């Protein structure tokens, strides 16, 4: 299947039909790379969300009645269709995010791979059996769909973000309402279109709009059984509070202030390469970005010099919006910027890869996620000092250490407060079969991707079969 470029007018997808917002309102999406107009999308509010939730509610029982094997087959078809329009999909992502084409292509591939992995679960979706103190009693636990899933995601890697939630949600027999970021309506429209071509109407609905209107309505809808959210801790806190009030199942994957430690026995050149990629790829707009580079005193100067060299001219892509750029520049005010730190003189929202040093570990800059191409350099005495600094953070998503010492690596693995640890690599994320998530304010204990995602999108049902009632 070949797909044309992004549509100019993007409507919601409800019950298999494109629909404008009931209010008739829409919002404008601009291209981060040059600030030019890209498209308009429906500015949805409660009425639109209610319509999408009703469509999902209506479709869900029928969908849950389709075998898991068949649902898996359809997810595989979706992955194949996405692969078939790889170039067009990547082109749409480049237009709406400004990231380099190579990254966008990699993201399409990642979404496709997630589809293939999840599809296989249609032939597993294993339950459990257990023993019983009662004779002739068989006890088993089976996975059941949660019901209607409200899926709210960030803009940063749009297609993988949809794939990580929509694929396991539908595989498990849920119907979904996807609320994409207001920054990425075009990729969500493409994704919704693919789903609509292959799945029964109402199984995947897409509602565009800004978070405080469309997203909040989804969280507050009494008919949404599960809210699965990927975004900032600030929004996550609001969602936990409002979803919690009505006792919905709320799953939060939040931000990070991830640290990469460079020991004095590290391969310095590799450590620099990984630091650059971890801090600056996708303009630092990765939950797993290394925004804190923690370097042993004895190699600090050498590492700093190589890092600054590499940062100059590193191709990051722009940040997502004018507001985002202004927020990051505001946060840098007064900081000791040793590389970058200024807006690049061209249209769009470009920030030079930025390196800061001399920041106190308690300062706002150390504790706040900027979600931009900004890395802070810290100087530490030894491993103990490094681990203390790494753990001195409200977040705990990913982490990395560069060292030749197995002992140091294992100590770091044991003591670091993070959901992901990497030895001698970047603070990079996950592959489809690996659970991903964080501790502390990076999440609420759930893991996405991997078979762990099945826990998000199913509930356990314990079944007791008494096979010979007379003999129990």
Residue 154 vs 275, nearer CB to ligand NAD: 154
What is the edge-to-edge ordering of all strands in the sheet holding 37-42? Answer: 9-10, 37-42, 26-30
CA distance linking residue 379 with residue 448, whole number of Å = 34
Asked about 253 being catalytic, the answer comes back as yes
Residue 272 vs 293, nearer CB to ligand NAD: 293
Question: Least distance (Å) from ligand NAD to the CB of residue 188?
Answer: 10
Question: Least distance (Å) from ligand NAD to the CB of residue 434?
Answer: 12
Which residue of the set 253, 357, 369, 448 is catalytic? 253
Question: Least distance (Å) from ligand NAD to the CB of residue 239?
Answer: 6
Bridging pattern class, strands 458-466 and 137-145: antiparallel
Structure tokens at 368: 């706040």
Question: Least distance (Å) from ligand NAD to the CB of residue 43?
Answer: 11
CA distance linking residue 220 with residue 195, whole number of Å = 25
CA distance linking residue 417 with residue 453, whole number of Å = 21
Closest CA to 178 of 213, 209, 156, 201: 209
Please, what's the b/e burial string for 13-39 (b: 16 or more CB within 10 A of its CB; e: otherwise)? bbbbebbbbeeeebbebbbbbebeebb
146: CB partners within 8 A, 6+ apart: 172, 174, 225, 226, 249, 457, 458, 459
CA distance linking residue 15 with residue 24, whole number of Å = 18
Residue 154 vs 306, nearer CB to ligand NAD: 154
DSSP per-residue letters across 324-363: HHHHHHHHHTTSEEEE--SB-SSSS--B--EEEE---TTS
Q: Is the dihedral of CA 62, 66, 70, 72 positive or negative?
A: positive
Q: 162: part of which helix (H) or strand (E)? A: helix 158-171
Structure tokens at 203: 């199984």
Question: Are the C-beta atoms of 39 and 8 separated by less than 8 Å?
Answer: yes
Question: Least distance (Å) from ligand NAD to the CB of residue 371?
Answer: 5
Q: Tokens 């898996």 label which residue?
A: 72
Which residue of the set 220, 287, 357, 369 is catalytic? 287
Question: Quick one: residue 410, left, alpha or beta (phi over 0 = left, psi -120 to 50 = alpha)?
Answer: alpha
Q: In degrees, to the nearest 5, what angle opens at C-alpha 103 toward C-alphas 101 and 108? A: 95
Asked about 85 being catalytic, the answer comes back as no
- Label residue 314 exposed, middle or buried (CB < 10 Å: 0-12, 13-18, 19+): middle
Binding residues (CB under 6 A) for ligand NAD: these are: 152-156, 179, 181-182, 210-212, 215-216, 219, 230-232, 235, 238-239, 253-256, 287, 369, 371, 397
371: CB partners within 8 A, 6+ apart: 156, 232, 255, 284, 285, 289, 319, 324, 328
Residue 155 vs 274, nearer CB to ligand NAD: 155
Q: Which residues are catalytic?
A: 253, 287
């Amino acid at each position: 299947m070949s797909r044309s470029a992004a549509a100019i007018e993007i409507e919601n997808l409800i019950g298999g039909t494109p629909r404008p917002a009931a209010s008739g309102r829409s919002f404008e999406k601009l291209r981060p790379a040059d600030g030019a107009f890209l498209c308009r999308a429906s500015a949805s509010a409660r009425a639109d969300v209610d319509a999408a939730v009703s469509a999902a509610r209506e479709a869900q029982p029928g969908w849950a009645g389709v075998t898991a094997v068949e649902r898996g087959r359809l997810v595989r078809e979706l992955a194949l269709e996405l692969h078939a329009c790889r170039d067009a999909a990547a082109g749409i992502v480049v237009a709406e995010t400004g990231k380099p084409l190579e990254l966008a292509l990699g993201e399409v591939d990642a979404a496709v791979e997630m589809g293939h992995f999840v599809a296989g679960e249609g032939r597993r979706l294993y339950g459990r059996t257990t023993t019983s103190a009662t004779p002739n009693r068989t006890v088993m636990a089976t996975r059941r769909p949660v019901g209607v899933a409200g899926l709210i995601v960030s803009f940063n890697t749009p297609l993988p973000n949809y794939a990580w939630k929509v694929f396991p949600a539908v595989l498990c027999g849920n119907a979904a309402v996807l609320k994409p970021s207001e920054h990425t309506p075009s990729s969500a429209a493409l994704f919704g279109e693919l789903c609509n071509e292959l799945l029964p109407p109402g199984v995947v609905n897409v509602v565009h709009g800004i978070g405080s209107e469309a997203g909040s309505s989804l969280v507050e809808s009494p008919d949404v059984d599960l809210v699965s959210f990927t975004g900032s801790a600030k929004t996550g806190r609001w969602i936990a509070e409002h979803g919690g009030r009505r006792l919905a199942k709320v799953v939060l994957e939040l931000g990070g202030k991830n640290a990469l430690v460079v020991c004095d026995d590290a391969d310095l050149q590799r450590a620099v390469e990984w630091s650059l990629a971890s801090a600056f790829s996708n303009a630092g707009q990765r939950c797993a970005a290394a925004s804190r580079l923690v370097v042993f005193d004895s190699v600090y100067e050498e590492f700093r010099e190589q890092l600054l060299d590499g940062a100059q001219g590193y191709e990051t892509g722009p940040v997502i919006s004018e507001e985002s750029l202004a927020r990051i520049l505001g946060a840098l005010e007064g900081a000791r910027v040793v590389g970058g730190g200024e807006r690049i003189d061209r249209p769009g929202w470009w920030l030079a890869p930025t390196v800061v040093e001399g920041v106190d570990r308690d300062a706002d800059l150390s504790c706040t996620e900027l979600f931009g191409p900004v890395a802070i350099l810290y100087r530490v005495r030894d491993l103990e000092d490094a681990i203390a600094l790494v753990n001195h953070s409200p977040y705990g998503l990913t982490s990395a250490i560069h060292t030749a010492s197995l002992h140091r690596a294992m100590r770091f693995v044991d003591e670091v407060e993070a959901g992901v640890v990497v030895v001698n690599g970047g603070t990079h994320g996950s592959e489809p079969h690996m659970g991903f998530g964080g501790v502390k304010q990076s999440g609420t204990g759930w893991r996405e991707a991997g078979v762990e995602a099945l826990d998000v999108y199913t509930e356990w049902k314990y079944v007791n079969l008494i096979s010979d009632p007379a003999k129990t």
